[in-house]
Amino acid sequence: MEYVLHVLVMVCIYGILAISFNLLVGFAGLFAMAQAAFYAFGAYATAILTLKLGLPFPLDLLIGVALTGFIGALVAIPAIRISGTYLVVVTLALQVIVIAVATNWKSLTGGTDGLRGVPSLHVFGYALNNPGRFLPAAILALGVCFWIAWRLTNSPFGRALRAMRENESAAEAIGKDLLYMKVAVFAFSAGLAAVAGSLFARYLNYVGAESFGIDETIYMLAMVILGGTGNLWGSLLGAALLVVLPELLKFVTLPTEIADKSHLIIYGVLLIAILRLRPQGLLGERSTMRHLPHVDGASSHGVSMPKPLPKGEVTLEGRDLHRRFGGIVAVAGFDIVLKSGSITGLIGPNGAGKTTAFNLLTGFLSLDAGSISFRGHDITGLKPHDIVRAGVARSFQDLRLFTKMTALENVMVALPDQTGDRVLDVFFRPMKIHREEHENLIRARNVLDFVGLTHKAYETAENLSYAEEKLLVVARLLATGAEVFLFDEPLSGLDRSTLAEIFPIVRKLADNGKTICIIEHNLDVIKELCDVVYFLDEGHAMAIGTPSQLMNDSTLASRYFK
Amino acid sequence: MDLFAQLFVNGLINGSHYALLGAGFGLIFATTRIVHFAYGPIFTAAAYAAWFAANVLGLPIAAAMLFAALVAAALGTATYQYLYLPFELRQSSSHVALIASLGLFIVLENLIAIVFGTGGRVVDGYQYDIFLVGPVYFSSVQLGQVIAMIVLTASLGVYLARTRHGKAILATTDNPEMARIIGIDTVKVSRLVFAIGSALSAIPATLILLKDGATPSMGFFAVFIAFVAVIVGGVGSLRGAIAGGLALGMVESLGLWKIPTEWQSSIAFIVLFLVVLLRPQGLFGRAVN
């Protein structure tokens, strides 16, 4: 019986670890393989604070969690610069370094002997010093950690995390601050792992470096993958299965050394098998929008298009923009002035610098020289998400939709000023967020209405047709609430009838006083849609004029068709 | 000064070992973009294969080395064919292959531990010679590590530059899509680099067996060091991997002057950490915008 209770305590500890790791790997898509190091920080914090400083519960836990959360936040900073494979390797290195420090810093950690005699938890003078007594505390801790992770992932912040996982640059382009999000999710993930570490120290009354090696991180990864990335219940299931399954092996009589090794072999084989047979895990990711009500006839709720802005005012202005890539000059001395209520076309041969110009105007590339202002305010050198918030948003030629999210979520995540984007507000202002979510749902439905995608609201983006995807790109851009929209080939590859659907949408935006700039190759589209056209070549504007002026210019035509 | 000379030679020797590991790993990584962690346990398996050939079958060392290379090549190719290729065909994200590789890593490492036991294995009756040149000591095995690095990386360089298969590998490394368009069978190329890269790792594995003996966990450090050499040197460059490996060996060895021994094995990880953060394209690589 004692043994069964012990296994259940271990399920709780690993449940917390798997949940914490899932936040990073599953929801945020950050493959940082140092989770066992965070686990170690929590365990050593409790051991050192109780043994060396005699701190009582819960001080050791709180300090440990805060400290580990802070370290997690520091790890997030490299995660901004590097991604994918490099993040995996750097964090593996970090994991090894942490364990080397734990092994070699004998005066603090006890070296290879570890720290013995960590005091058990006491509740009303009652020592939780056996599995049966400890289990309720472990279940309580698991419950609290699960609730924290649940709140986090089912909030607007969680939605933004998944958007970032799907496509980082697109998340930036709708105004999400990636640094903030990465720091926050790392801090939470590390802090939760530290809770598990503290429990471990209190339960076994011992902390040693060998419990937190790379094998442990892989073990947690196996739990997350087995249960399903992006599903918290899956992590619990994965933890339970991977703790219990190897225990069953104990009934087969094997020498202990071989038994230990065969556990690890089982994890490895299971990991590979699940990737092969069911890559989404036992429980796949579910849409977080399930619990939101379907709102029908949303436009009758009185939230409609914002009132029209005055036309003809200068909004976005770029002056003497320059950018080189190594020896190649992409943009050189480009000037552009966009006005509210007008549609500006950007044409020119391939390699003329059109997309680079967009990247410069929206902060995705830094300028070598030149300046950019929006409504008279200098926005040169701002980060992309700040530029979006200031009022200038762009779309991408290759769409970059959040493919695993529904059309509605794609739009909702892009709505500006969401209280729930801030992680502390998720926990401290739940009512405000709840109200906002309801309003945002209606706003998102209205945007979908506006582009004619209401019937696809609950369809995942990857299941949409090409034309619908293009419409969703427009919808997502509108949702940012920006004043200036830079569309990078929004119409390419569409047939006549779809074009006829999109034209009025773009026209209507301009009529409402929005500023529109479109990169386009199709001259018919330019003729039909644009008020002003910039002809770009060799990195700057060769000519500016109305569509008919430019099209009658034979030198430009020969440049374009060369 | 004598100490410096000795540390310098040690750095050169270990650096050669790292460079060779890096060359094999780097060939696989640059061409297939797979983070092949299982390179580690395959390196271990090669060491045990050499031990088996020398000790149980009684083959001479050179033959044992060849046997180890064949075993490693077979394991490497099989790993690609049966583990990575199916994910590649399914167009899974690159993380999937990486996780699968970690899975295979723990499976192989623990299988080896069960079959051969966790204690170290040495080749019975093998004795290496010690040379004393001026103030500097080194052994015949260490000399072998340097020679093996020079001979094998030079041959690899010639193979890549001069032969049809080698050029196909370089083309795939440069741009896989373009390589496919001009009719290169990139799956075949991948299989080939897994075979060559794994076989290459068997030589340093055998030399480590002769020098220190084989243990089931030796693969982790090997794959990590290989990775560090490649990253420090810049991905996709054979010369970079060699320079990265040598630089790492030197830093580690000369670091002993100031740093206590128990930290020596951490130096590589700290170097990696710093290089990736400060200069992700590698010390010798070109900056990519």
* pLDDT beneath 70: ranges in chain A: 287-307, 561-562
B288 inside domain: no
Please name the member of B83, B118, B276 whose beta carbon is closest to the beta carbon of A90: B276
Instruction: Give the containing element (helix H, strand E) for B157.
Output: helix B140-162
| Residue contact B280–A262, C-beta within 8 A | no
| DSSP β-bridge partners for residue A206 | A116
Between the alpha carbon of residue A436 and those of residues A164, A171, A420, A440, B119, the distances in Å are 21, 20, 9, 6, 63
Q: Which amino acid makes up residue B143?
A: L
> Taking Cα atoms as reference points, which of B15, B61, B10 lies closest to residue B202?
B61
Question: In terms of Cα–Cα distance, which of B183, B193, B152, B285 is closest to B231?
Answer: B285
Question: What is B228-257 written as a DSSP string?
Answer: HHHHHH-TT-HHHHHHHHHHHHHHHHHHTT
Where b means 16+ CB within 10 Å and e means fewer, A444-467 reads: bbbbbbbbebbebbeebbeebeeb
CA distance B94 to chain A (A): 8
Cβ distance A194 to A64 under 8 Å?
A: yes
pLDDT digits (tens, 9 = 90+) for B215-274: 999 999 899 899 889 988 888 888 889 999 999 999 888 887 778 877 877 888 888 878
The DSSP bridge pattern shows strands A343-347 and A532-537 to be: parallel
Q: A373 by DSSP, 3-state: which?
A: strand
Residue B212, domain CATH: 1.10.3470
Max alpha carbon distance in chain A (Å)?
93
Spatial distance between the Cα atoms of A490 and A469, rounded to a whole number of angstroms = 10
Looking at the predicted structure, is the pLDDT value of residue B172 above 70?
yes
3-state secondary structure A87-128: HHHHHHHHHHHHHHHHHHCHHHHCHHHCEECCCCCEECCEEC
Rounded Cα distance, A306 and A178, in Å? 28
Sign of the CA dihedral with A294 first, then A296, A302, and A306 last: positive
**Which residues make Cβ contacts (< 8 Å) with residue A388, sequence separation at least 6?**
A172, A173, A174, A175, A362, A480, A482
Beta-carbon separation of B273 and A93 below 8 A: yes
Q: Which of B107, B118, B270 lies nearest to residue A268, judging by beta carbons? A: B107
The predicted pLDDT at position B279 comes to 76
Q: Which positions in chain B touch A269 (Cβ < 8 Å)?
A: 103, 107
Q: Report helix, strand or coil for A329.
A: strand
Contacts (Cβ under 8 Å, ≥6 apart) of A71: A38, A41, A190
Q: Measured between alpha carbons, how far is residue A495 from residues A164, A470, A522, B72 in Å?
A: 31, 12, 12, 55
Nearest to A416 by CA among A376, A384, A443: A443
Whether residue B127 lies within 8 A of chain A, CB to CB, comes out as no
Determine, yes or no, domain membership for B203: yes
Give the C-alpha separation, A496 to A233, whole Å.
47
Return the closest-CA partner of residue A8 out of A251, A259, A244.
Answer: A244
Instruction: Name beta bridge partners: B248.
Output: none
CB contact under 8 Å between A325 and B273, yes or no, is no
CA distance A61 to A57: 7
Task: For residue A306, say if its preceding peptide bond is cis, omega within 30 degrees of 0.
Answer: no
Q: Per the CB < 8 Å rule, is B35 touching A100?
A: no
Residues A142 and A9: their CA atoms lie apart, in Å, by: 10
User: Mapping DSSP to helix (H, G, I), strand (E, B) and coil, where does residue A377 land?
Assistant: strand
Q: What tokens were used for A90?
A: 């750097």
By C-alpha distance, the chain B residue nearest A258 is B114
Task: State the pLDDT at residue A349.
Answer: 86
End-to-end CA, chain A: 83
Lookup: tokens for A472: 């969703």
Q: Which residue of A has its CA nearest to B83?
A: A272
Identify the domain containing residue B142 by its residue range.
2-278
The answer to whether B229 contacts chain A (CB < 8 Å) is: no
A374 neighbors A380 (Cβ within 8 angstroms): no
Picking from A107, A265, A368 by the largest number of B CB atoms within 10 A of its own CB, the best residue to mutate is: A265
What is the sign, positive or negative, of the torsion defined by CA atoms of A454, A460, A466, A471? positive
One DSSP character per residue, B42-58 reads HHHHHHHHHHIIIIIS-
Is A272's CB within 8 Å of B273's CB? no
Long-range Cβ contacts of A117-122 (<8 Å, 24+ apart): A117/A51, A117/A205, A117/A206, A118/A46, A118/A47, A118/A50, A118/A51, A118/A201, A118/A202, A118/A204, A118/A205, A118/A206, A118/A207, A119/A50, A119/A202, A119/A205, A120/A202, A120/A205, A121/A57, A121/A202, A122/A57
pLDDT over 70, % of chain B: 98
Interface-testing mutation among B44, B81, B106, with chain A (most A C-beta atoms within 10 A):
B106
CB-CB under 8 Å, A96 with B266? yes
- How far does the CA of residue B232 sit from the closest CA of chain A (Å)? 12
Dihedral sign for Cα A478, A479, A485, A488, please.
negative
Read off the pLDDT of residues B58-102 as tens digits, 9 standing for 90 and up.
999 999 999 999 999 999 999 999 999 999 998 888 888 988 999
d(CA A535, CA B62): 69
Q: Which residues in A lie closer than 8 A to residue B276 (C-beta atoms)?
A: 78, 82, 86, 89-90
Q: Is residue B287 part of a domain?
A: no
Residues B178 and B53 sit within 8 Å (Cβ to Cβ): no
Locate the DSSP E strands across A126-172: 126-127
DSSP code, position A310 = P
Of A97, A214, A325, the CB nearest to B266: A97
Three-state DSSP state, A312: coil
Q: Average pLDDT, whole number, for chain B?
A: 90
- Kindly state whether B264 is in contact with chain A, defined as any CB-CB distance less than 8 angstroms: no
Q: pTM here?
A: 0.89
Count CA within 13 A, CB hemisphere, residue A192.
29
pLDDT band at B286 (very low <50, low <70, confident <90, very high): low
Say if residues B102 and A31 touch (Cβ distance below 8 Å). Answer: no
Among B39, B87, B104, B114, pick the best mutation site for testing chain A contact (most A Cβ within 10 A): B114
ipTM for the assembly: 0.88
B269 domain residue, yes or no = yes
SS3 B79: helix
Q: In the numeric block, which tokens belong to residue B116?
A: 């051969």
| Tokens linked to A348 | 């020119």
Angstrom distance (rounded) from CA A265 to CA A288: 35
DSSP 3-state of B133: strand
Best mutation target among A272, A274, A277 (most B Cβ atoms within 10 Å) is A272
DSSP structure string for A257-287: HHHHHHHHHHHHHHHHHHHHH-TT-SS----
Q: What is the DSSP letter of A308?
A: P
Question: Is there a domain that residue B283 lies in?
Answer: no
Domains identified in chain B, total number: 1
Measured between alpha carbons, how far is A64 from B120 in angstroms, rounded to an integer?
39
Q: How confident is the model at residue B27 (pLDDT cuts 50, 70, 90)?
A: very high
- Three-state SS string over A476-540 comes to HHHHCCCCEEEEECCCCCCCHHHHHHHHHHHHHHHHCCCEEEEECCCHHHHHHHCCEEEEEECCE
What is the spatial distance between Cα B5 and Cα A458, in angstroms, rounded to a whole number? 70
State whether residue B277 sits within 8 Å of chain A by CB.
yes
Q: Is residue B289 part of a domain?
A: no
Whether the Cβ atoms of residue A132 and residue A5 lie closer than 8 Å to each other: yes
What's the alpha-carbon Rg for chain B, to the nearest Å?
19
Contact B248, B15 (CB under 8 A): yes
> Looking at residue A298, what is its pLDDT?
44
Distance in angstroms (rounded) separating the CA atoms of residues A372 and A321: 8
Q: Which residues contact B8 (CB under 8 A, 6 or more apart)?
A: B250, B253, B254
Q: Is the pLDDT of residue B287 over 60?
A: no
Contact A194, A37 (CB under 8 A): no
Q: From the CB of residue A36, how many other CB atoms can be counted at a distance below 10 Å? A: 26
Distance CA A264, CA B109 (A): 9
Q: Is residue B208 part of a domain?
A: yes
Q: Could you tell me if residue B42 is inside a domain?
A: yes
Provide the 10 A C-beta neighbour count for residue A47: 30
Q: How far, in Å, CA of A18 to CA of B118, rounded? A: 29
Share of chain B above pLDDT 90, in %: 63
Burial class, A489, CB count within 10 angstroms (exposed 0-12 / middle 13-18 / buried 19+): buried
**pLDDT value at position A561?**
67
